[in-house]
Structures are given as C-alpha cells and as structure tokens.
Amino acid sequence: MTTTFDIDPGHLFIDGQWREATDGARMEVVDPSTGQVVTTVAQAGAGDVDAAVRAARDAFDRGPWPRMSGRERGRVLHRVGELIREHAEEITALESLDVGKPISLCGAVDVTNAADDYEYYASLAQSQDGATRDTPLSALAYTRREPLGVVAAITPFNFPLILAGSKLAPALAAGNTVVHKPAEETPLSALRMARLLQEAGVPDGVVNVVTGTGPVAGEALLRHPGIDKVAFTGSTAVGRHVASVAGEGLKTVMMELGGNAAHLVFEDADLEKAVGAIIKGFVFNTGQFCMAGPRLLVARPVHDTLVGILAEAVAQVPVGDPRDPRTVVGPMAGEKHLKKVEEYVELARKEGARVVVGGERLDLNGGYYYRPTVITGLSNDSRVVQEELFGPVLTVQPFDSEGEAVALANSTPYGLASGVQTSRLARAHRVAEQLHAGIVWINDWAVLDPAVPFGGVKDSGFGREYGPEALASYSKVKSVVVSLD
C-alpha cells in the first residue's frame, strides 16, 4: 500500500480549532522504516496546555456533552466507530508510517480495535444508571453515576490509536471531556482522530489534542488544577512520577505501565500450536507491546525440542518494509528503541548466553530494523530476563515442576499479562489462579476485546481499561436521600 494522502503539518486541536503553539515551536515526526523526517507537528508549551484544559473545563461545566443522555452520546460515539471504518485505509497508512507497523497488521488490529472501542462504549453509554437502596430510613435513597470532569489522557508511542481509543471512548461515553497528549514520537493518528471526532458530532472543547514532549506538555497537563483524572499508559518509571504528582493533586489516576510477561509451556502442550502463540507473543508490533511474552518458560523434557522448532520458525518470520503486505515484523519505532535492544542482546552475550537465532540489526533503507531473536542459557536474575526489553527478543528458560514454573513467572516486578500452554484443563485453571497478572491467556496470546478488562498488578500499574469496569472508572457515584416525611 502506498501513502495516498497528504500529511498536513500538525497543529494543536483546542476548543475545536487548529492552532500553532504559542511560541511557534514544532517537533519532527520520523518514518522508522527510513529514518527520514516526514512532517512536523506543533510542540505545545505550558500555556497551550492551559488553553486546552480551560476549553475542556468550559465544555464540561457549561457545554452540552455531560448533560446529554447516555443514549445521545452513544449515537455520536457509534458514528466515530463508523468513520474510523470508512477511513480505515488512510488511518492504517498514517499509523503504519508513524510507528513502523506492518500495514496488514495495522489495519486488522489497530484500526479495527479502535473502531471496536468506540462502538463498544457507544453501546454501554446508556448503561450508566444508578440504583435504589433498601434502608430502614423514612426516605427514598438512590444513587446516580456522574462524569468525573476533565480527563488527561497521556499515551505511549507503541499503540497510539488503540490506547487513545481505550481512554477516550469510555471517558466520553461517561460524559467527561478530555485533553489528550500523545507520545512525542507518534502523534499523527491523534490529530486525525480529532477531525473524525468533530465530524461525528463531538462538540467543540470536549476533545482537545496537545502534541508535545512529556517533560513540558505532559507535566503541565498532569499538574493542572483543572484536571480531575489522569489516564496514563507508559513506562513504569514515568508512571511512578505521574502517579505521585497526580496523587499530590488528589486526582483520580489509572496507570497502565510496563510488562515483562512469562509464557509457560508444559510438557503436555501441543507444541506445534504453541509455537504460533509464542512467536506472536514476542514479535507482534516488533516486540514493542506491554503485554508481550518475552520470557518463555519451558518444561525441561520438551525444552530442547521446542527451542529447535522455534529456531526454524523464527528465522522464517518476514521482517521488512511495513508497507509490504507480506511483512510481519517492521522496524522498531525509533533509533533509541533499537539501541536499547542491541545493548540487552550484547549483555546477554557477555553473560555467556546462546543466541539461537537473530541477534543483529537488519540493514534496510536506513530504517530501525532488528531481527527476531531467541536467547537461551540466561540465569533468572539476568537483567535481560528481569527488565522490560521492549523489542523482538525471547529468552528461554527450563523448569522442572509446576511450582517452579509459577515461581519463575512471578519473579519479576511486573504483572501485566501471562500465558499457559497446556492440554490439561485442571492445570490451566490452577496455574492461571497463581500467576501475578492482570490477564492470563490459555493456549493463545494477546487475544483482546473491548469487553474484556485489561490492566496490571505490581509494577505494571493499577486500574483497568476496557469492559464495564473502565466505564465505571470514568464516573463517580452520588447518593441522593429524599425525605418521605
């Protein structure tokens, strides 16, 4: 697929208007498949963020959006989903260009999921009702669900469209207004979405997009007294800071942070089938996904066989230009991400590990490519095993018992996702219960749906995206007690 649209230099979207940053600052957007600058976007300063929050505040305090019925808001959000589908080809090309995502996966996964998010929360928008409570009082007691106010949505570079949708859709369905700050590396789809939201009928000021850096625009947003909730997805290090500042301001927070999931393969697993899930678990999005499964734990009797099958299969995974429909693994999203992966693999080599396949860059068009890599022979306390590597690298460790497998799986600070490959039903449930993770996949990997809650435990954060749980988290409960005397 070729890029068949013009990419306008991006502006800030505030109160339904497109604006330059007050000081005229701009940032470059780079195509990761070539390393070339493709466009620039406005770089917001603190004053611009203030203007965006004021617009959102005004839209919340005086505008129609929070006062509309859930059904009316649902109608608008449903139209957003339709518009995403109508413009799927263009949005796919834009997101692929910005992040380096293979075009075939980007359309089927990112764009489809974003549309699903809006349609799912459109259908839930009118389910936000309260309840009457039975009391001994001479009173009618009931609860109402009301929106929180202005939500700051701060998103990372790896799934710009999906992670914006997973916040904006429930936040808007519940009647909030939003200021969205996308990652500095990948701001393009957020700006395109602002146009679509407006076209769908979202009133001015309800959604504002400020492109800019974390330390300036992100920090200003987070500290702004006009913000009621911070919905953050990003690294654990930045998340810790964001949570502490938001805590000081007594803002509601949702933290979707890093991951380093274990994928457990028992001797009773269907190995041929497991290989597909294992590969998806570490190469999807070039390994740049929070729910990746880069730590493979394998029952010793099948360890060598599985490593052999994997070595062959991983070497066949098509790596290349994201615009080629055959490509499964594109470039890393930026040079710094590529360098980080190289450093970890270098460290593994120094520690005496064996690089079974991959372990090097792919030199192609000046892009940030790294070959899918499988490493064996690392100890569990190696930094390569314990830390979030965030690239297409799989480490493999053997285990001798179910108890040891669970202990190894739970041995990192993270707890976002986990997976189990087994043909024994009782084992699947038993192990799932013991894993420290917000989601556990049995005999598959990364199967998601907006109806299924997603989020972490431990250093992977708290709060949940998706499901009715996320919608509830964007509202507060008010009790009304009416005297019957």
Which residues contact ligand NAD (rule: CB under 6 A)? 154-159, 163, 181, 183-184, 213-215, 218-219, 222, 233-235, 238, 241-242, 256-259, 290, 388, 390, 416, 456, 460-461
Smallest gap from Cβ 432 to ligand NAD, in A, equals 19
The closest residue (CB) to ligand NAD is 214
Instruction: Give CA–CA dist 53/411, Å, rounded.
Output: 41
Smallest gap from Cβ 166 to ligand NAD, in A, equals 8
Catalytic, 290? Answer yes
Please list, in sequence order, all residues whose beta carbon lies within 8 angstroms of the beta carbon of residue 136, skipping any fewer than 6 positions away. Answer: none
Catalytic, 272? Answer no
Residue (47 or 325) nearer to ligand NAD, CB: 47
Contact predicate 328/283, CB 8 Å? yes
Residue (202 or 255) nearer to ligand NAD, CB: 255
CA trace torsion 221, 222, 223, 225 (10° rounding)? 80
> From start to end of 240-368, where are the E strands?
252-256, 262-265, 295-299, 354-357, 361-362
Smallest gap from Cβ 184 to ligand NAD, in A, equals 5
Instruction: Give CA–CA dist 368/337, Å, rounded.
Output: 9
User: For residue 207, how many other CB atoms are within 10 A of its CB?
Assistant: 30
Smallest gap from Cβ 183 to ligand NAD, in A, equals 4
Residue (205 or 234) nearer to ligand NAD, CB: 234
Residue (104 or 158) nearer to ligand NAD, CB: 158
Smallest gap from Cβ 98 to ligand NAD, in A, equals 13
Catalytic, 465? Answer yes
The one-letter amino acid at 95: E
Contact predicate 289/439, CB 8 Å? no
Please list, residue by residue across 92-131, b when 16 or more beta carbons sit within 10 angstroms of its beta carbon and e when fewer do.
Answer: bbbbbbbbbbbbbbbbebbbbbbbbbbbbbbbbbeebeee
Element of type H or E holding 229: strand 229-233
Cα-to-chain-centroid distance, residue 167: 10
Smallest gap from Cβ 291 to ligand NAD, in A, equals 7
Contact predicate 74/123, CB 8 Å? yes
Residue (259 or 359) nearer to ligand NAD, CB: 259
Dihedral of CA 142/227/157/374: which sign? negative
Smallest gap from Cβ 182 to ligand NAD, in A, equals 6
Give 115-118 contacts, CB < 8 A, sequence gap 24+: 115/81, 115/82, 115/84, 115/85, 115/88, 116/81, 116/449, 116/450, 117/81, 117/162, 117/165, 117/166, 117/169, 117/450, 118/77, 118/78, 118/80, 118/81, 118/84, 118/165, 118/169
Ramachandran bin of 365, using left for φ above 0, alpha for ψ from -120 to 50, beta for the remaining angles? left
Residue (183 or 348) nearer to ligand NAD, CB: 183
Smallest gap from Cβ 213 to ligand NAD, in A, equals 6
Residue 264 has, within 13 A of its CA and on its CB side, a CA count of: 30
Residue 142's alpha-carbon distances to 68, 324, 485, in angstroms, are: 21, 57, 17
Residue (109 or 306) nearer to ligand NAD, CB: 109
Residue (145 or 337) nearer to ligand NAD, CB: 337
Query: Which of 328, 301, 312, 299 lies closest to 272 in space, CA to CA?
Result: 312
Residue 294's alpha-carbon distances to 204, 282, 290, 376, 396, in angstroms, are: 43, 5, 10, 12, 8
Q: Which of 167, 181, 229, 251 is catalytic?
A: 167
Smallest gap from Cβ 224 to ligand NAD, in A, equals 11
Residue (121 or 159) nearer to ligand NAD, CB: 159
Q: Which of 95, 119, 219, 256 is catalytic?
A: 256
Q: Which of 95, 229, 290, 388 is catalytic?
A: 290
Residue (227 or 307) nearer to ligand NAD, CB: 227
Query: Which of 253, 323, 256, 360 lies closest to 107 in space, CA to CA?
Result: 323
Smallest gap from Cβ 217 to ligand NAD, in A, equals 7
For the record, the structure tokens of 255 come out as 């933290």
Catalytic machinery residues: 167, 256, 290, 465
